A and B are shown apart, each in its own frame.
Chain A
Amino acid sequence: MADRASDYDKTRRVVFVTVGTTSFDALVKAVDSPTFKQELFRKGYTHLLIQMGRGSYVPTKSEGGSSLAVDHFTFSSSIADHLNSASLVISHAGSGSIFETLRLGKPLIVVVNEDLMDNHQSELAEELADRKHLYCARPQTLHQTVADMDLNSLVPYSPGDATPVAKLINRFLGFPDD
């Protein structure tokens, strides 16, 4: 509903795609497909910014206006700024990227890279998706996920706490409790 309304105002609504330090061409290709970009535009997003890492697939840039504006870069030291100014984040499944986005309270779709050899990364994304903190997709299901998503149903993530571990370590070593 909110998506519809913003179709008509001129505010920037950025979708930020991040693949982290490696390459994830399957994801970049998926977000670069015309139907996917149309879907984002229909949902009221105005800009698509892609951090493509070491990937070899280069998405097509677009000025926007009557369609989605598309831009991309390889790496940036200010990923945090991009996350901050985004209305929707589509990220690889690395835990650093996931928690940084959740901490900022941004709606998040995690796309699992099925080409990785030791693919434990889907565990975390699926667990957090079960708890409704984010959406979890594969490159080939991303379009459907965006089409079906209801961002109001996402549950805000409350950050964890390291004090229980610290307490156990202290106790084990014989330090008195504070």
Chain B
Amino acid sequence: MMEKGHGCSFSGIVSTSTFSCTIVVVTLILVRILYVILWGPRPFSRRATKPLSTLIVLGSGGHTAEMLNLLVVLQKDRFTPRFYIAAATDNMSLQKAQLLENNLTAKNGTRVPNTAQFMQIYRSREVGQSYVTSIWTTLIAMIHALWLMIKIRPQVILCNGPGTCIPICAIAFLFKVLGIRWSSIFYVESIARVRRLSLSGLLLYKFRMADQLFVQWPQLQRKYPRATYVGRLM
């Protein structure tokens, strides 16, 4: 009787301490996530002097054209080295990016392999794929994205949809929470989105994963107040 009672109270103590430990850990994680969400999307107070490694997530067709328009005006000496990622089913986008980089090389005389790399990633969702099956394909894409992100660990991420950028941004967010790498995520919603954000844009907006989310139409900014209106890229 005595022993049993003692055992009972001992396991009681153990379970209470594991319980409180769990509470503390969960609280710490939540605080960290809140910190990343609320304090993260603020401009650095210090001046950036060193170039930042930049990951550019290319979409397809129109998306790529918009992204390349942005890259043309970005200062290449600040955003270097550059890593380009496109869906494995999309060869055109990487070709176009390569063309842009080659033109730069011709101008500056630096070799492309030093400043730019091109990679492919499994796509989380094809155009027209149902939302249910895209859960499974997104999972596969996540694992591949994790592998790429561990290798690259970019300081800046530029993306403008479609689905390819979601795993990348989710992992980048995780890296921020875990303190592995603090990367600034910029998302430019496609010009094709006039009245509603795309699924990618909406996810990044709702979960506050992007540090800055840009939209190209004023009516979109009015609907999503935390977005920034920047005018048309095309």
Contact = CB atoms under 8 A, between A and B. Distances in A.
Contacts of B111: none
Interface stretch (A41-49, A52-60, A61-69, A121-129): A121-129
A120 B189 CA distance: 13
Given A95-B62, A160-B231, A175 B75 contact: yes
B211 A172 contact: yes
B47 A160 contact: no
Interface string B35-77: 0000000011111100010000000011001100110111100
A73 interface: no
B186 interface: yes
Interface stretch (B25-33, B114-122, B171-179, B194-202): B194-202
Contacts of A96: 61-62, 65
B193 A159 contact: no
B184 A173 contact: yes
Contacts of B216: 160
Contact of A120 (B48, B74, B193): B193
Contacts of B73: 162-163, 166
User: 4 smallest A-B Cβ distances: which pairs?
Assistant: A160-B232, A95-B62, A174-B48, A96-B62
A126 B70 CA distance: 25
Contacts of B232: 159-161
Label chain B's interface by main secondary structure: loop
A176 B48 CA distance: 8
Contact of B233 (A120, A160, A172): A160
A176 B43 CA distance: 12
Nearest to A159: B234
Nearest to B216: A160
A33 to B, nearest CB: 27
A76 to B, nearest CB: 14
Contacts of A163: 73
A38 interface: no
A166 B211 contact: no
A contact patch SS: helix
Contacts of A20: 61
B62 A165 contact: no
A162 B70 contact: yes
Interface residues of B, number: 45
Contacts of A126: 194
Interface of A: 20-21, 94-96, 99, 116-118, 120-121, 123-124, 126-127, 159-166, 168-176, 178
8 contacts: A20-B61, A95-B192, A123-B194, A160-B231, A161-B231, A169-B212, A172-B186, A175-B48
B138 interface: no
B192 A124 contact: yes
A178 B73 CA distance: 12
Given A162-B233, A169-B212, A172-B211, 7 more contacts: A123-B193, A159-B234, A160-B234, A166-B73, A166-B74, A169-B158, A173-B156
A123 B192 contact: yes
A123 B196 contact: yes
B94 interface: no
Interface string B202-218: 00000000011010110
Contacts of B158: 169
B190 interface: yes
Contacts of A172: 43-44, 184, 186, 211-212
A65 B190 CA distance: 44
A95 B61 contact: yes
B228 interface: yes
A85 B45 CA distance: 53
Contacts of A127: 194, 217
Contact of B188 (A124, A165, A174): A165
